[in-house]
Structure 1
Amino acid sequence: MLDGFARKGEIKKARDLFDKMPKKNVVSWAAMISGYVENGMFEEARSLFDLMPEKNVVAFTAMITGYCREGNVEKARSIFDGIQHKDLISWNAMIAGYVHNGNSEEALKLHIAMLELGMKPDHATLIAVLTACSCLALLQRGTQIHAVAIKTKLESNTSLSNALVTMYSKCGSIGESERVFQKFKNQDLISWNTMIAAYAQHGHYQKVLALFYDMEANGFTPNGISFLSLLSVCGHVGKVDESITWFNLMVSRYGVSPRAEHYACLVDILSRGGQLKKACDYIREMPFEAESTVWGALLGACQMYSSIELGELAAKKLLRLDSQNSGAYVMLSNMYAAAGMWKEVTRVRILMKEQGVKKQPGYSWTEIGDKVHVFLVGDASHPDIGKILAELGRIWLHMKFLDDEADVVY
């Protein structure tokens, strides 16, 4: 009953029932704590966890999930390390927590530690690890995980297949994404959207359209995610008019209400296409306040087309929403510099210094020999820099001789 109330979102009824129980065991406490976590009431979960007389692995795992959702992975890890008898669910919670908080390297390290202890992964483990590989573009590691999925007969899991499509796509191997998608026979709407997004990421406009129509032919109704991929690929290949057509069809034919990300994508396409006035018109038509991504897209285009007045407006709106956005200061400064307005350049830099905003350095990484090498922009201090540059040069020469139709992005 506790679990049922919690799953239905009736958390107050669950707590009333919990308080009325004449005798509670560890399962009762864990169910109530998990219910609070799943309903986003982490403070209540933490208070109950502190009162729990005898804690079990389920309660510990619920707290790991809660801390990770709050972004406190250090506290989550301390609880994880304190569990004497960890089960697969607790390992999965910690690995997924690292991935969710952008710490994919730690997720992969924890996965290796789990395997060394003899724990066998399930589909949830592999999905989290594949997501980590996607974030770091680790094709070789992702391929190894794919082999594990085949060996353990988990490849047929729908969510795992979707994760494989995404991993191969983000690692630049769109052909492998296609093979995974075509091999899998039980695609759901998420599967179709995942493959459409993969094509969109690689700029394959015609393939996106073909798969979009195939999805409809197979009885699936496109949703907001489908149209976001359509708009995205229109932006990749510079199809401004087509993006407007699809945006309008999304509403009129398919009844999908545009969200902030749809407007942001369309504004970005129009802005980069030089249609700044039309982009502003769409911003004014938005039924909600424009987010920072929208104003950022407009500001970038104003810098490109030297539209000072509109750029100042976009920068003002962007900094009101995100005062620590270093990109806004840099773009505004560059726009002034291109126009020869050096006094304004100085003013922006002084304001940036007063606000304590620092330009974030650029990072890049490459995987060579199953090892990830991370570089700061302009960094030449890496101990293996010579070997890495030689290997990248060899890869570049190989790429130059590839057929023009190959799926390679230079």
Structure 2
Amino acid sequence: MPERDVVSWNAMVTGYWQNKDLKESKMLFDLMPERNVVSWNSMIAGCVENETVDEVFEYFLSMPGRNTASWNAMISGFVRYGWTEEAAMITGYCKKGKMENARILFEDIQPKDSVSFNAMTTGYAQNGDGEAALKLQAQMLRRDMKPDHSTLVSVLTTCSTLPSLKEGRRTHVIILKRGFASHLSICNALITMYSKCGCIIDSESAFSHLNNPDLVSWNTIIAAFAQHGLYEKAVSFFSEMRMSGCEPDGVTFLSLLSACGHFGTVNESLHWFDSMVKNYNLIPWLEHNSCLVDILGRAGQLEKAYDLIKEMPFELDSGIWGALLSGCCAYSNAELGQLAAEKYFELDPQNSGAYVVLSNIYAAAGRWKEVKRVRGLMKEQGVKKKPAYSWMETGNKVHFFVGGDVSHPNIEEIYS
């Protein structure tokens, strides 16, 4: 065609997805010099027809303008996938991170059903607002509504992040009542939640309810033992995993190396690092190497750690140099520590941690001029030390505190 107008493009875009070639349809849509509402509606209809649900939301939310056909195309998708119109729109906004839009839409729904509650609760959890997610789940229970599978996983993840053991246990009760205790993804989320909340025995108990644990399940429980410094338990479960016929992957060995880090054994860490390469033909990631550098640094083998860094075939990140810097601080190696810190500053100049560690190294060596120089550099770069904090759970809420904090509005009530 010597000239193609938007009608010609739309005809081709529609023709491809009608013949089950959505990939080609999307490619032509992306190449269109101009689009009208028909173009967007065609892509929505194509995604509905080809059952690519996530892309339905993506195109609908990206449209510069919508007409009746746009809404009809979306509604046909809602009906096909068994979702209500409002809940599907909430999910679409949540996927885009537009929680305020999702909340407004949620508030407009009358009456609210379990589908809309589940969509909103999951959205809050996935966008990092754990407190709002837990509040909505509580509202669901008061209304005698049932959280679905994805909502329960999201809420457990929220409880892991806060961490909130009380809400985690409450969610576990709901899981038991709903008969989800042996569901793979829910059990995996339970293992992580209990581990992050300090209850490793409950993590192991949750794992025991799995009839056929998959690789993710094995990796999750091994990581839980590693997090708690239980090296022998991690190795024991690795052996059980192998006996069950499940092949380990890079994540498995990362957990084993992490367990070695807590246990403080260089020989074991080198054994696992070599084993993943020689016995399982796995190529070590940057994270594996970073873990090994950390272990060598903790053991005082700083030169060996530095040699390992120099041999790495990766683009190094700040974590590698941070691991070496920590080892230099523990063993007062100012020269290597300065080199590690300079490399760290190049990659992450606004992180206060490296400045503080380097300052501590110089202070331990009595090099006060260097301490002053590092503090001046922090001021020059506008870097401020972030205060460490801790938390406690009471009264159905997690409270965060910094050192010497007396500003919390309920401080007397909490400690009474």
TM-score range, shorter chain: 0.7 to 0.9
Alignment map for 1:71-110 (pairs within 5 Å): 75-83=98-106, 84-85=108-109, 91-92=117-118, 94-110=120-136
Aligned to 1:370: 396
Distance 1:14 1:80, change over 3 A: farther
CA distance in 2, matches of 1:9, 1:226: 39
CA distance in 2, matches of 1:382, 1:210: 44
Is the 2:61–2:92 Cα contact (8 Å) retained in structure 1?
yes
The CA deviation at 1:353 is: 1.3
Alignment map for 1:115-194 (pairs within 5 Å): 115-116=141-142, 119-194=145-220
Is the 2:363–2:371 Cα contact (8 Å) retained in structure 1?
yes
Distance 1:307 1:78, change over 3 A: same
Distance 1:261 1:51, change over 3 A: farther
Of 63, 73, 76, the residue aligned with 1:48 is 63
Q: 1:166-204: per-residue Cα shift (whole Å, max 9, x none)?
A: 111111111111112112212111111111111111111
Aligned to 1:311: 337
The CA deviation at 1:139 is: 1.4
The CA deviation at 1:312 is: 1.3
Q: 1:287-329: per-residue Cα shift (whole Å, max 9, x none)?
A: 2111111111111111111111211111111111111101111
The CA deviation at 1:28 is: 2.1
Distance 1:19 1:359, change over 3 A: same
Is the 1:333–1:348 Cα contact (8 Å) retained in structure 2?
yes
Aligned-residue RMSD, C-alpha: 3.5
Is the 2:183–2:210 Cα contact (8 Å) retained in structure 1?
no
The CA deviation at 1:351 is: 1.6
Q: 1:195-223: per-residue Cα shift (whole Å, max 9, x none)?
A: 11111111111111111011011110000
Residue identity in the other structure for 1:276: L
CA distance in 2, matches of 1:377, 1:195: 33
Alignment map for 1:197-236 (pairs within 5 Å): 197-236=223-262
Aligned to 1:60: 89
Of 45, 58, 62, the residue aligned with 1:28 is 45
Of 311, 314, 323, the residue aligned with 1:288 is 314
The CA deviation at 1:60 is: 2.7
User: TM-score w.r.t. structure 2 length?
Assistant: 0.80
Of 324, 333, 336, the residue aligned with 1:298 is 324
Is the 1:298–1:311 Cα contact (8 Å) retained in structure 2?
yes
Q: Secondary structure at the match of 2:63?
A: helix
Q: Structure 2: 5+ residue runs without aligned partners?
A: 1-16, 75-84
CA distance in 2, matches of 1:99, 1:150: 21
The CA deviation at 1:62 is: 5.2
Is the 2:37–2:65 Cα contact (8 Å) retained in structure 1?
no
Structure 1 runs, 4 residues or longer, greater than 6 Å off: 13-23
User: TM-score w.r.t. structure 1 length?
Assistant: 0.81
Name the larger-Rg structure: 2
Is the 1:126–1:145 Cα contact (8 Å) retained in structure 2?
yes
Residue identity in the other structure for 2:358: L
Aligned to 1:356: 382
